[in-house]
């Protein structure tokens, strides 16, 4: 290989194959990626088959996260909504209940990298709690962790139910429990998290989750996906994070793309739970989406391909994919992307949605645009 000179690189072109790889896979460096035919080569190769060198960031080839040991798989988590248990009260109103247990658990956030997390129900992010506007919600919280915790919901509720230290139940000590009860409002995509001090650490350790309140009349049918943007400060220096991701496992959706159907509506619930970094962002290749910040209005505010979120900001994004192929999505804070917050949508011709994780990517022959 020729020596790369600084001037050549600044001019935007490098020699030979390196240039092709760079423009393809470095976010923003080239046109939207539609891998088409060679997607099949990658599909069967398992984790760690993508990227490398100028082809893009990757973990060490051949290394994989043990989802079994973690107790959750981001490929399943992305479509998992916890509707809890319901019963109708005498008043005719629906009571919806969940039980959440805080527990300390070591999880593998990148192949071979173990993080001593604090979790709700043994997973990070915690379960995606989903309900309908106007219901009465009751959350039974049990603290099995070695540290005191709370559950603080974003939403409309009385101070006693706010889940902060010193008010209402306040801190729930190790072995303790409490019940949070409030109305489901306003509709939109929200979040919950621990509010014990130090707050940054209690959030960074993994105590957060998405909280979705559907409008009374529901939303139009769509393939719904939840994406909690997060990160892990594995060396505990409180200076940014070492690993970034959506739904905890970095680069997971690079190796196991999120499979969706062509020409059918997709709805993303995107929540930024990232601690220690002031902003996060969400960008999709080869497509645009309608942006509903916080999901509290049924009218989108813009049609775009990139949004910015501070911590606890969240949005509903609605889109359809007009072409088959693999489409990257990632933080357009590219540093986060190259440290793990990157993935692919794999778009096929239907009939695969809702199948088990193993079937998701069995899309048959992909149609290459223009072919």
Partner 1 sequence: MEAATPSARGPGSAPRWLLGAMPLALIAIAFAAFALLGGPGLGDRRGPPVEDLAVERTVLRPGEIELAVRNTGPDAVTVSQVSVNDAFVDFDPGQGGAVGRLQSRVLTLDYPWVEGGVYTISMLTSTGATIDHQIDSAVETPEADPSFFGLMALLGTYVGLIPVALGMLFMPFLRGIRERWMRAVLAFTVGLLAFLAIDGTLEGIDVGNASAATFGGVELLFLGAALAYLSLAALDRYLTARREAAKGAGAGEFRLALMVATGIGLHNLGEGLAIGSAYAIGELALGAFLVIGFALHNTTEGIAIVAPLARGERPGLRCVAALGVIAGAPAILGAVIGASAYNEELATFLIGIGVGAIVQVIGQLVPSIRDSEGRALNIPSIAGIIAGGAALYLTGLLVAV
Q: Is 115 in the site for partner 1 (CB under 8 A)?
A: yes
Alpha helices in 231-287 (DSSP H): 252-255
- Encoded one letter per residue, x for contact with partner 1 by CB under 8 A and - for no contact, window 33-62 reads ---------------x--xxxx--xxxxx-
Binders of partner 1: how many residues, by CB under 8 A? 38
Alpha-carbon separation of residue 136 from 87, 106, 142, 151 (angstroms) = 10, 34, 20, 17
Q: Is 280 in the site for partner 1 (CB under 8 A)?
A: no
Q: Is 5 in the site for partner 1 (CB under 8 A)?
A: yes
Only one residue has tokens 């962790």, namely 145
Specify the residue, 6 or 87, whose C-beta has the smaller distance to partner 1. Answer: 6
Complete edge-to-edge strand list for the sheet that includes strand 279-284? 258-261, 342-348, 325-330, 279-284, 306-310
Which of 70, 121, 145, 242: binder of partner 1 (CB under 8 A)? 242
Q: What does DSSP assign to residue 158?
A: -
Q: Which stretch, 95-103, 163-171, 174-182, 235-243, contacts partner 1 (CB under 8 A)?
A: 235-243
d(CA 211, CA 141) in angstroms, rounded, equals 15
CB 159 within 8 A of CB 139: no
CB of 4 to partner 1, least distance (A): 4
Q: Is 298 in the site for partner 1 (CB under 8 A)?
A: no
Q: Is 90 in the site for partner 1 (CB under 8 A)?
A: no
Prior bond to 55 cis, omega within 30? Answer: no
Which of 25, 110, 227, 245: binder of partner 1 (CB under 8 A)? 110
Specify the residue, 17 or 156, whose C-beta has the smaller distance to partner 1. Answer: 17
CB of 315 to partner 1, least distance (A): 26
Prior bond to 196 cis, omega within 30? Answer: no
Alpha-carbon separation of residue 334 from 97, 145, 160, 231 (angstroms) = 40, 35, 41, 14
Specify the residue, 18 or 167, whose C-beta has the smaller distance to partner 1. Answer: 18
- Encoded one letter per residue, x for contact with partner 1 by CB under 8 A and - for no contact, window 63-82 reads x-------------------
Q: Is 11 in the site for partner 1 (CB under 8 A)?
A: no
CB 305 within 8 A of CB 347: no
Structure tokens at 111: 């192949």
CB of 84 to partner 1, least distance (A): 33
Alpha-carbon separation of residue 323 from 23, 25, 215, 371 (angstroms) = 21, 19, 31, 12
Q: Is 22 in the site for partner 1 (CB under 8 A)?
A: yes
> Could you list the residues that contact partner 1 (CB under 8 A)?
1, 3-6, 9, 18, 22, 48, 51-54, 57-61, 63, 109-115, 232, 234-236, 242-243, 250-251, 335, 338-340
């Amino acid at each position: 290989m020729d020596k790369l000179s600084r001037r050549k690189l600044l001019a935007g072109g490098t020699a030979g194959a390196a240039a092709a790889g760079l423009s393809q896979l470095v976010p923003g460096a080239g046109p939207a990626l539609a891998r088409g035919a060679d997607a099949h080569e990658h599909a069967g190769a398992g984790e760690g088959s993508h990227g490398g060198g100028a082809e893009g960031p990757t973990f060490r080839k051949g290394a994989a996260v043990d989802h079994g040991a973690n107790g959750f798989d981001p490929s399943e988590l992305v479509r998992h909504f916890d509707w809890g248990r319901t019963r109708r009260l005498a008043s005719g109103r629906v009571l919806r209940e969940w039980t959440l247990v805080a527990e300390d658990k070591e999880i593998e956030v990148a192949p071979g990298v173990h993080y001593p997390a604090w979790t709700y129900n043994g997973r990070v992010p915690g379960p995606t709690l989903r309900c309908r506007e106007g219901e009465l919600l009751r959350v039974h919280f049990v603290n099995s962790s070695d540290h005191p915790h709370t559950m603080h919901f974003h939403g409309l509720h009385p101070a006693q139910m706010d889940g902060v230290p010193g008010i209402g139940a306040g801190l729930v000590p190790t072995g303790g429990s409490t019940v949070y009860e409030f109305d489901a409002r306003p509709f939109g995509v929200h979040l919950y998290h621990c509010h014990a001090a130090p707050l940054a650490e209690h959030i960074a350790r993994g105590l957060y989750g998405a909280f979705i309140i559907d409008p009374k009349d529901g939303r139009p049918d769509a393939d719904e996906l939840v994406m909690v943007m997060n990160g892990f400060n594995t060396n505990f220096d409180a200076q940014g994070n070492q690993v970034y991701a959506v739904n905890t496992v970095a680069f997971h959706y690079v190796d196991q793309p999120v499979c969706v159907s062509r020409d059918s509506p997709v709805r993303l619930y995107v929540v930024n739970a990232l601690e220690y970094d002031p902003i996060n962002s969400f960008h999709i290749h080869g497509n645009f989406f309608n942006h509903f910040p916080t999901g509290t209005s049924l009218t989108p505010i813009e049609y775009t391909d990139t949004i910015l979120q501070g911590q606890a900001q969240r949005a509903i994004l609605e889109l359809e994919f007009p072409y088959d192929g693999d489409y990257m999505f990632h933080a357009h804070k590219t540093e986060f992307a190259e440290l793990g917050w990157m993935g692919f949508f794999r778009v096929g011709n239907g009939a695969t949605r809702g199948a088990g994780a193993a079937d998701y990517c069995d899309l048959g022959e992909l149609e290459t645009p223009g072919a």
